[in-house]
Amino acid sequence: MKTKGKEQGRIFIAAFGIVLLLMAATFYYLQGQERVLRIGIFAGSNWEVPQGNSYAVMDAAVEAFKKDHPQIHVEYVSGIKKEDYAEWLAEQVMGGREPDVFFVLSDDFNLYASMGALMDLSDFIAEDGDFQPEHYYGTALDYGKYEGKSYALPCESVPTLMFVNKSLLAREGIPMPGNDWTWQDFLDICRRVTKDMDGDGVLDQFGCYDYTWKQAAVTNGINLFREDGRISYFADNRMEEAVRFMMELRGVQRGREITAKDFDMGRVAFRPFSFAEYRTYKPYPWSIKKYMNFEWDCIKLPAGPSGSNTSELDSLLVGMSARTRMPSIAWDFMKKLCYDSEIQTLVLQKSQGLPVRRDILLSAKGQDIFHQVTEGGGNMDINAISEVMDGAAMPPKFKGYHGAMLYADTELTKVINGTIPFNNALNKLQKEVNARLQF
């Protein structure tokens, strides 16, 4: 019996050793195999402007990443248009097939963060000694946060600027406003330039087009929602100032509906644009193709009496799937794309956006590139751009934000157009929005 027991023990030990050898062999085999990191990306610019090679920055990031991770194969599906990307990504997420790392459109971020589709990056950020969050513009980094946690990194950003028709102002004998101009300056110029140029009794030159109450609210220092998204502040005195200002602006045009064609023909003095549009259409030959009838430049938005010359910042975000099987590898790739100094410099060279790292934009090389891609930048120099990025506002991050803003926009448009009386309208709006936010 003892001999039989010893024999069984030897067989067990031998079998166990074989299992260990097989496990080790499998481990080393897999280590030597090329693993796949899938990336979700769309074709074209995120900023609705023409762009040459939209994959230039991504391809450079992939190449740089491969040098540090030669056993990782990075792949992405090319040719997905931005207008189709949201639906494509939603299908991937619903089917459990989403990429390990993917671009997150700003309209979709709140949804994906709230439903748990994105990995919480807080630990990666806190524990990675090679990652310094302070290098980012604060608002750009905060753009990827939801309920105080980081779920995405910014890759590039654009602020909103005020496009100025310099030819129209010069014809009217009005100097170019400075970056410290105010609502009152804006309103005064709009009044001076709005007129009937051909004497037919119909206005055909105007002050502004496409300036919104949201931009007025931002420049007057108002936060429309509490951070948790449960309470709104539409009845705030600063919001009342913004709405009254918008009503005055509309009154200047005396009921005439201004169109994009009016602006393109050089008949409008001001229009808010993104920096991406400024960068795209400022240099030759796009300047000739788009706005050949007048000279133009961009400055900061005018400041309200309770605010400053700021604007909202829009950022292209990159997130990690909460279901990825290689989170550390995915983080390394995100860091390469969104943080690496060479790739961030390439954003300034190849994209229509701006790098999200302050030190890259303001470096000697960054300033040289900036002046090359904007042909000098006119009145909007790089320091002014950096100031806008530093002080930019960010849309609130809660699940019901877009629905609440859509309703508020509809009601406030009625007030500004005079369809409904202004008296007590903001109090009513605040109560209704607050009620909707409870669901």
Compute the distance between CA of residue 239 and CA of residue 387 in angstroms, rounded to an integer: 24
pLDDT, one tens digit per residue, over 74-97 is: 999 989 999 999 999 999 999 999
What is the percent of the chain where pLDDT is above 70? 89
Q: Which residues contact 399 (CB under 8 A, 6 or more apart)?
A: 110, 111, 114, 229
pLDDT given for residue 291 in this prediction: 66
Peptide bond into 285 cis (omega under 30): yes
Residue-averaged pLDDT of the chain = 90
pLDDT given for residue 11 in this prediction: 53
pLDDT given for residue 411 in this prediction: 97
The sign of the torsion formed by the CA atoms of 333, 320, 56, 346 equals negative
Q: How many residues does the chain have?
A: 439
Compute the distance between CA of residue 85 and CA of residue 39 in angstroms, rounded to an integer: 13
Spell out the domains of the chain, with CATH numbers in brackets. Answer: 35-158+315-378 (3.40.190.10), 160-312+395-437 (3.40.190.10)
Is 41 in a helix, a strand, or coil?
coil
Parallel, antiparallel, or unpaired: how do β-strands 313-320 and 35-40 relate? unpaired
Mean pLDDT of 240-265: 94
Does 304 have pLDDT greater than 50? yes
Mean pLDDT of 172-194: 97
Say what the pTM is.
Answer: 0.87
Tokens of 256: 């005439």
pLDDT given for residue 381 in this prediction: 79
Alpha helix (H) residue ranges in 206-259: 213-219, 237-252
Does 10 have pLDDT greater than 60? no
Mean pLDDT of 249-253: 95
Cβ of 184: how many Cβ atoms within 10 Å?
13
Mean pLDDT of 319-343: 98
pLDDT, one tens digit per residue, over 49-70 is: 988 788 999 999 999 999 999 9
